[in-house]
Amino acid sequence: MSQAIHNPTLAQIDEHSATSATFVVEPLHTGYGMTLGNSLRRVLLSSIRGAAMSAFRVEGISHEFTTIPGVVEDVVDIMLNVKSIRLKSDSDSPVELSLTKKGSGTVTAGDIKLTADVEIVNPEQVICTIDDPKGSVTMHFVVESGRGYRTLEESSEARIHSDMIALDAFFSPVQRVRYKVENTRVGQNTDLDKLLLTIDTDGTITPTDAFEEAAAILVNQYTALAGSTRVEAGPSLAVSSDENASHLMMSIEEMNLSARTTNALINNDIRIINDLVTLSETDLRELKGFGSKALDEVKDALAGMEF
């Protein structure tokens, strides 16, 4: 029997919204659900590249512990609002932005004049409110790219304008990561793991892009440590060929079986075709409520699908 550790597959992506998705990785070698889940979660929360406001200035104001004539919020409140602006930046260097708003009304992130390198994904974010019809506000911002979290002290040392108010910067576009590990089986292998990893982002990156970037970071780190050593990996247990991969992820209902046969399979926790094709004829006969007629029906359906 081969002792190779088989590579898993990304079996399914359940998209809950544009900013949330669950990634199903299976089958995994025993214990690897926790190993991969924990490492991916840590990288997703700490190392995905993003952008944030690192400093700002309100014209006529020299420090944050003050108020602005004609503006409802004080500078501390404005500072918190500015930190809530979520951005994309294609520049490796700091980018300076500005806004000017005259007359009473709400000042939002959408009022900021952008460059070609920067995009704001929540333009509705409130910055402040002008309650004087003759009032006006002019502000300047610095946007930087980075990874993880940068403290206020670090931002103060790195700011490009000494008269600006530095901000602690949370660059990570990933807001939350949860994972759980379940048991799964492939044929006679009953001690395999299935990893379900749910990623929530702030909208500046898709969950899929974040997942792939985290995996690529881990690959780079481990490749650097492996030196010239290579370990042979067994082929995926779940997918027999690229040609059949999409069919294997189809639900049992799509096979157009009789209702009785379909229900028997689902009641035995066989929900996709991949679950079915990994079972031998003996395994199928042992399923609860699954008789010879159902077996013949399944064999004919699989034959028609060229499995």
- We report the CATH number of the domain holding residue 130 as 2.170.120.12
pLDDT interval class at 45 (50, 70, 90): very high
Residue 165 and residue 246 in one domain: no
pLDDT tens string 145-202: 999 999 999 888 888 888 899 999 999 999 999 999 998 877 667 788 999 999 999 9
Report how many domains make up the chain. 2
Residue 148 and residue 251 in one domain: no
48 and 213 Cβ atoms separated by less than 8 Å? yes
Residue 152 and residue 55 in one domain: yes
- Whose CA is closest to 61, among 152, 157, 165? 165
- Residue 256 has, within 13 A of its CA and on its CB side, a CA count of 5
Of 170, 196, 228, at which residue does a domain stop?
170
Of 134, 152, 170, at which residue does a domain stop?
170
Inside any domain, residue 68? yes
pLDDT interval class at 129 (50, 70, 90): very high
pLDDT interval class at 249 (50, 70, 90): confident
Of 170, 204, 225, at which residue does a domain stop?
170
Residue 246 and residue 164 in one domain: no
Share of the chain above pLDDT 70, in %: 92
Inside any domain, residue 250? yes
Mean pLDDT check: name the lowest of 3-17, 142-156, 157-171, 293-307. Answer: 293-307
Q: Cβ atoms within 10 A of the Cβ of 246, count?
A: 9
Inside any domain, residue 96? yes
What integer pLDDT is reported at residue 303 of this predicted model?
A: 76
- Distance between CA 255 and CA 265 in Å, rounded? 12
Residue 57 and residue 147 in one domain: yes
Report the sign of the C-alpha dihedral through residues 220, 216, 151, 139, in that order.
positive
What integer pLDDT is reported at residue 2 of this predicted model?
A: 45
pLDDT of residue 275 exceeding 90, the answer is: no
pLDDT of residue 239 exceeding 50, the answer is: no
pLDDT tens string 48-106: 999 999 999 999 887 888 888 999 999 999 999 999 999 999 999 999 999 999 999 99
Share of the chain above pLDDT 90, in %: 57
Inside any domain, residue 147? yes
Amino acid letter for position 20: S
The mean pLDDT of 115-138, rounded to a whole number, is 95
Structural domain boundaries enclosing 68:
49-170
Residue 162 and residue 71 in one domain: yes
pLDDT tens string 27-36: 898 899 999 9
Inside any domain, residue 233? no
pLDDT of residue 247 exceeding 70, the answer is: no
- Residue 258 is part of a domain; what is its CATH number? 1.10.150.20
Residue 162 and residue 62 in one domain: yes
- Whose CA is closest to 26, among 240, 164, 194, 160? 194
